[in-house]
Chain A
C-alpha cells in the first residue's frame, strides 16, 4: 500500500490540531503505520498552524514533504496559499470558505483577493467547502471541523466504521449527536462534489 500524505492547515483556535488528532486516531484504527506531527509557533491563538499525517507502508518520518501531499485540507483561505506548495501536482486542496484577517503589526494590508485563481493556476484541484454555512444550518457554528473532516473522509482510504468509532470516543457525550450529524453532512457534501468533479472531467 502506498503512503498517503495529508496536510491540515489553518489558524490557531480553529480546531486544526484537534481535527488532526481525530484524523490520526482514525488512521491508527486501521493502519499499522501512522505518523503525525504538527508545526506551530508560539502563539496561543491566531497563528498559522499545520498538522502532517502519513499512513501506509514504510512510514518512518512524520513530516510530509513539499510537493508530496495527496490532499490539503485548509481551514482558512489564506492558509491554503501558505501551504499550497506541499501538494503534489494535480493534488487536491479542500478549502474552508472562511477568511480570518491576520492580526497585523505593521502597515495595514487588506485581506488578499484572487486566492482560488492563483492556486488553480498552479495546477492544483480546488474545492471550496461552505462548512461555516452548513454548521450554522445545523445550529452549532463550532461543528465546522467535523464537516470538513467528513468531506476529507470521502478522499481517504479509511472506513466509515473507524471514523464513527473515533468520533464517538473523542467527542463529549452532549456534543456527540450534532458532531456525528456534521460529519455525515460533510460526507454527503464531499460525495456530491466528487461526483460533480468527475462529471466535469
Chain B
C-alpha cells in the first residue's frame, strides 16, 4: 500500500491526511518551516513527486514563495506551526488586500496545551484580523477533505485561506477514504496591473474591495453545506468545530449540532436560528471565546461558554464531561504514589551538553533560543537563562549588553540562526556591539525531528543542495573573531569561550559536532565508555552532566546501549575511572 494508490481506505494521521489532501487537490507547490505539530505535513507532501515541496529558511519566506506561485495561477500551500504564522503575518495581513489568482492556503497548526510550544495562542483571531476565510477540520478524514474545500474557497473568492489544525487533529490517526488527484483547471494567470498588485500605493481602494469581498463571503457562509446541521432529539444545541466536535459528539449523543467547518466569517443567521430553536446552546471551542464573543455580540443570550469551560489548555472528553455534565473526576490515585517524573533531557552524546558545560564554567549570562538546546536551562546544567522565541537570543544579548549587563553570551541553533538570527547579528556589527554568540551547529533541525535546512546540503525532497557556509557568512557580516570549536573537547571549547569574551567587538563561536540523529550519524559505529569500579570514588561528577547515559544512583553506571562515546563524562572524572570499553 503506497500513499499514491487511489480508492483505498487507509489509517492516516491528520498531518498525513492533509498531505494527501494537497495531492488530491492538485496542489502544485508547498513550502514551510518545521514546527510541532505541523512538521509532518510537508514531510509527507515531499513523498508526492507531483508536488514541488521545499523547506524555506523561515515561515515568511515560505509564505512569500507560495504567494508567488499562487499569483502565477497555480495552487500553492504553505505550512507552519502557529507561531510561524506570527513570523509570516506581515505578508499574511497584506496579501488579502490584493487577493490571489491561483488557490492559496496557509496551514497554521495550533498547540492548545503547549505540548511543544512556548505560548498558547489562538490563531483563529489572525484569520479575522487578516479578513480571510478559515477552515477547521476535526479528524483525519476531514483533514484530507477540507484541504480541497480550502482551495475551492480560495479560488472562488480570490482570497488566501487560513486552514487551522491543532495538535490533536494533526497527531491523531483515523481511517481515511482516499480519492484521486484532480488536476487544477484554474486558468487565471498574472498580468501586470499595478493598481491591484502594488498594494501600498493603492491600499485605500483595495481595502474597500476587501470589505466588499468579506460581505460576499459572509453571505456565502450562510448556505455553506460544510457548516453542518445535525438534528438531535434534546433541547441542547452545540456549536463547535475542530477536535472538540469529536469529544462532544460522544458525550451528547442526543444533542443537535451546528458543526462549523468555516469558522470565519460566521453565518450569523444560521447560528441565530440554531440558538433560537434550542433551550440552551453550548459553544464548545478550545482556547479563546472566539465564536462565543461574536455570538454574544449579536445579542444571543441562551449560550453557555467560557463561564463553564476552560479558556486554556487542551480539551478532552473528561474536561467537557466535568464542565457540562457535572461529572466527578475519576480518582487520579497517582498522587498517592511516590511517582518519579521523567523530565526531558538532552540526549546521550548531544553536542549541546559540551557547549553548555563550557559556558557554565565561564559563569556567563546566556540568552537562549528555541530548539532542543532550550533544555540546557534545566538542572543540572542550568546554563541558559532566557528563552522566548525563534531568533531572539542575539538581539536579547545585545540588549542586555546595552542595558549594562556584563559577560553575556547568546546561544542559537544552526537552523534557528538561518531562520531569524542573521539580521540581529548584522545589527550587532552595525551598531558597534560586543556580543558573543555561540552557534550550536548540529547540522540539522533537531527539535522537530531532524529536518534538512540550507546548511545541511540536502533539500526536503532529497536532492543535493549547495551548503550554506555559515563561517563565510558570519565573516561577511563583519564579525572579525570567528572560531570553530569542538564541544566534546572541554579545554578547547572553554578556551574558545574565554577568547571570545576577551575579544573587543562582536565574536562568534560555531560548535562543530552533529546531532546524534543527523543524517549519517545514527549508523556510525560507536564505542561506549565504562566506569572502572576500582577507580570510581562515587563523587558524582559524571552524574552532574545531565546525561541520560550516566545512570543515577550511589554507584554510577554507564548505559552502554545509549552511550555514544562522546567522552564528556570521562573528561569530567578526576580519577580516570571512566574509560572506553575494551581499553584498560
Question: CB distance A60 to B173 under 8 Å?
Answer: no
Complex contact B344–A36 (CB within 8 A): no
Given contacts A28-B11, A63-B317, contact A42 B552 (CB under 8 A): no
A85 within 8 Å of B (CB atoms): yes
Does B447 sit within 8 A of A, measured CB to CB?
Answer: yes
Contact assessment for A41 and B340 in the assembled complex, using a CB-CB cutoff below 8 Å? no
**Inter-chain contacts of A85 with B (CB < 8 A):** 330-334
Q: Which listed segment binds A: B207-215, B220-228, B242-250?
A: B242-250
A136 at the binding interface (Cβ < 8 Å): no
Q: Judge if A160 is at the interface, Cβ distance under 8 Å.
A: no
Closest chain A residue to B1, Cβ basis: A169
B95 / chain A contacts, CB cutoff of 8 Å? none
Q: How far is the CB of B30 from chain A (nearest CB, A)?
A: 25
In whole Å, how far is B277's beta carbon from the nearest beta carbon of chain A? Answer: 23
Given the interface pairs A11-B342, A41-B344, A42-B447, the reply to whether A108 lies near B553 with Cβ below 8 Å is yes
Q: For chains A and B in complex, what number of residue pairs have CB atoms within 8 angstroms? A: 146
Knowing A28-B175, A43-B345, A44-B347, the reply to whether A37 touches B168 (Cβ < 8 A) is yes
Residue of B168, B174, B246, B552 near A34 (CB, 8 A) is B174
Q: Closest Cβ of chain B: how far from A146's Cβ, in Å?
A: 19
A46 on the interface (CB 8 Å rule)?
A: yes
Chain A residues with Cβ below 8 Å from B10 are 28
Q: Which residues of B contact A140 (CB under 8 A)?
A: none
Q: Interface digits, B353-382 against A, CB 8 Å rule (1 contact, 0 not)?
A: 000000000000000000010010011100
Q: Does A90 contact B (CB under 8 A)?
A: no
A84 contacts chain B at the CB level, 8 A cutoff:
yes
Contact yes or no, A102 B340, CB < 8 A? yes
Q: A60-B246, A85-B330, A104-B552 are in contact. Are A112 and B340 (CB under 8 A)?
A: yes
Chain B residue with the shortest CB-CB distance to A43: B344
Contacts of A118 in B (CB 8 A): 336-337
Q: How far is the CB of A159 from chain B (nearest CB, A)?
A: 17
Q: What CA separation (Å) do A109 and B321 show in the bound complex? A: 36
Hey, which chain A residues are within 8 Å of B583, CB to CB? none
- A25 lies within 8 A of B246 (CB): no
- B347→A60 contact, CB < 8 A: no
Complex Cα distance, B139 from A37, in Å, reads: 11
Interface size of B by Cβ–Cβ distance < 8 Å? 54
CA distance A33 to B9 in the complex (A): 11
Q: Is the CB–CB distance between B337 and A112 below 8 Å? A: yes
Q: Does B316 contact A (CB under 8 A)?
A: yes
The 8 A CB mask of B320-356 against A (1 = contact, 0 = none) is: 0100000001111110111111111101000000000
Question: Which residues from chain A contact B562 at a C-beta distance below 8 Å?
Answer: 13, 45
Interface string of B442-485 (1 = CB under 8 A from A): 00000100000000000000000000000000000000000000
Dominant secondary structure at the B interface: loop
Option from B115, B173, B330, B333 in Cβ contact (under 8 Å) with A62: B173
Whether the Cβ atoms of B345 and A46 lie closer than 8 Å is yes
- The residue on B at minimum CB distance from A38 is B171
> By the criterion CB–CB under 8 Å, are A45 and B175 in contact?
no
- B551 contacts partner chain A, Cβ-Cβ < 8 Å: yes
* A81 neighbours in B (Cβ, 8 Å): 334, 337, 339
Interface residues of A in 105-163 (CB under 8 A from B): 105-106, 108-112, 115, 118, 122
Check A103–B342 contact: CB distance below 8 A.
yes
Task: Kindly state whether residue B505 has any CB partner on chain A within 8 Å.
Answer: no
Interface residue A61 (Cβ < 8 Å from any Cβ of B): yes
A61 touches B548 (CB 8 A): no
Interface pair A41/B548, CB less than 8 Å apart: no
Of B11, B172, B517, which contacts A37 at CB under 8 A?
B172
What residues of B have a CB within 8 angstroms of the CB of A39 in the complex? 115
**A61-B246 CB under 8 A given contacts A78-B339, A108-B552:** yes
What separation, in Å, do the CA atoms of A164 and B379 have in the docked complex?
46
B550 to chain A: closest residue by CB: A103
- Contact partner, A46, options B245, B321, B332, B548, Cβ 8 Å: B548
Q: Kindly identify which residue among B11, B174, B338, B342 contacts A43, using a CB–CB cutoff of 8 Å.
A: B342
Chain A residues whose C-beta falls within 8 Å of the C-beta of B253 in the assembled complex: 58
- Which chain A residues lie closer than 8 Å to B186 at the CB level? none
- Distance of A117 Cα from B539 Cα, bound (Å): 35
Indicate whether A122 sits within 8 Å of B552 (C-beta atoms), given known contacts A42-B344, A48-B342, A60-B250.
no
Within 8 A of A (CB), among B409-468: 447
Q: Is A71 an interface residue (CB 8 A)?
A: no
Given contacts A28-B175, A38-B171, A105-B378, 9 further A-B contacts (CB under 8 A): A28-B9, A35-B246, A36-B174, A40-B115, A43-B343, A46-B548, A61-B246, A66-B330, A82-B334
Report the 4 A-B pairs with minimum CB-CB distance, sorted nearest first.
Answer: A67-B330, A43-B344, A37-B172, A66-B330
Interface residues of A, Cβ cutoff 8 Å to B: 11, 13, 21, 24-25, 28, 32-48, 58, 60-63, 65-67, 78, 81-82, 84-85, 101-106, 108-112, 115, 118, 122, 169
List, sorted by A's number, 28 A–B pairs whose CB atoms are closer than 8 Å: A28-B9, A37-B168, A37-B172, A40-B115, A42-B375, A43-B343, A43-B345, A44-B347, A48-B342, A60-B249, A60-B250, A61-B250, A62-B173, A62-B174, A62-B246, A63-B316, A65-B318, A66-B318, A78-B339, A101-B552, A101-B553, A102-B343, A103-B345, A105-B380, A109-B340, A112-B338, A115-B337, A169-B1
